[in-house]
Structure 1
Amino acid sequence: MAEAIKQIRKEIPTPEQEQSQAIADIIAALASNREAIISTIGIIKHLQDMGVLDALNGLLEKRVDVGAIAIQQINQPGMHNMIKNGMNTIKFLGQLNPDELQIMLDGVSRGLEKLGERIDKNEKVSLWQLGNSVRNEEVRTSLFTMLGLLEGMGEVFQRDKRELH
């Protein structure tokens, strides 16, 4: 019959054994990720050549001073307005239908091209030509679109004016 186990010995590695195991793990990781490590070293070399690492090191050394300056700049009233405007712009873009926005931006882009062509030709437009342009279907469509834009803006302006009073 087997003898009962009375004492369990736990093997505790020595600091030298832990260090050699850690080195072995690091070497194994380096070997299995060779291409990524070489690419990373190349990126770091380029950053060093450009002076980016020196600038980052300087920023880190002066982080308290840089942080104080950044806080001072953020506390400027103009910066508050800029942050609010940025947030409102993001909110506005989130409300837009991407397809409708793309159509509008394409129209603005084409309109700017036409404007550039007319400026290059240095054409003078008479009142008669201006009046006749209303017969052009593209001009009428654009005017109708602009009228819708103006109407919607007017509704919001009047609503906000009533809410203020």
Structure 2
Amino acid sequence: MAKAIKKVHKLTLSEEEQRTIDLREVEDALVKNKEAIMQTLEIMNHMQDKGILSLLNGLFGQGDKVLDIAVKAMDKPENTNTMKNLLLLLGTLGMINVRQLEPFLLKIDAGIARVAEYKDTEEKTGYFDLVKSLKDPEINRAVTILMQFLKGMGQDTEPYEKTTQDTPEKRTNQTKDKTLEKNGQRS
């Protein structure tokens, strides 16, 4: 009958053998990712040519000073408002339905093209000319679109507003609205 193993001896590698194994693993990884490494080196070369690496090196070398300057610059009210406005603008751009906007932009482009072709003359347009031009289907369509656009601009958008900043104009309007409601003048 066999004897039970009571001691397990770990296979220990010498430092040289471990180094050889590690180098082999690194070499295999380099060969496996050759294309990605070559592209990365090419990008780094371009960054070196443009001076970006020097800039980044200086930036990280003086990181605390740069961060301190950036924080102080952002602490100014005008810069804070710029950041708020930028975020609000980005949020608003995200709400725009490009599919709805595209036909409108194409019409604006066609209008600009017509204006570019127009030769300026001494001829004046009178009131009757304006009324007669409404019979032209293209002008009539443009006027109708303009009226719809103006109606949309006149719509109450306060429920959709994302700004929480209470401006003096807004406070004045709210006070007027409350006064009108008290007096029963507001519908």
TM-score by length of 2: 0.72
Deviates more, 1:97-106 or 1:5-14: 5-14
| Equivalent position of 2:28 in the other structure | 28
- Compare 87-96 and 59-68 and name the one that shifted more: 87-96
Give the number of aligned pairs.
163
Cα pair distance change 1:78/1:138, threshold 3 Å? farther
Task: Indicate how the Cα distance of structure 1 residues 47 and 95 shifts in structure 2: closer, same or farther if over 3 A, else same.
Answer: closer
Deviation at 1:19, TM superposition (A): 3.1
Q: Which structure would you say has the larger RCO, counting Cα contacts within 8 Å and 6 or more residues apart?
A: 2
In structure 1, C-alpha distance between the alignment counterparts of 2:15 and 2:132, rounded to whole Å: 92
Aligned to 2:174: 164
Secondary structure of the 2:9 match is coil
Query: Which residue pairs with 1:9 in the alignment?
Result: 9
**Corresponding position of 2:83:** 83
Aligned-pair CA distance for 1:124: 4.8
Distance 1:132 1:84, change over 3 A: farther
Kindly indicate which of the two structures has a greater share of residues assigned to helix. Answer: 1
Q: How does 1:12-91 map to 2 (within 5 A)?
A: 12-91=12-91
Aligned to 2:125: 127
Structure 2 SS opposite 1:153? helix
The letter of the residue matching 1:85 is N
In structure 1, list runs of 5 or more residues that go unmatched.
none
Q: What is the percentage of aligned positions where both structures have the same residue? A: 29
Provide the rounded CA distance (Å) in 1 between the counterparts of 2:20 and 2:141.
77
Q: Are 1:146 and 2:146 counterparts? A: yes
Question: 1:6 Cα deviation (Å)?
Answer: 0.8
Unaligned runs of 5+ in 2: 162-169, 176-187
Deviation at 1:12, TM superposition (A): 4.4
Superposed displacement of residue 100, structure 1: 0.6
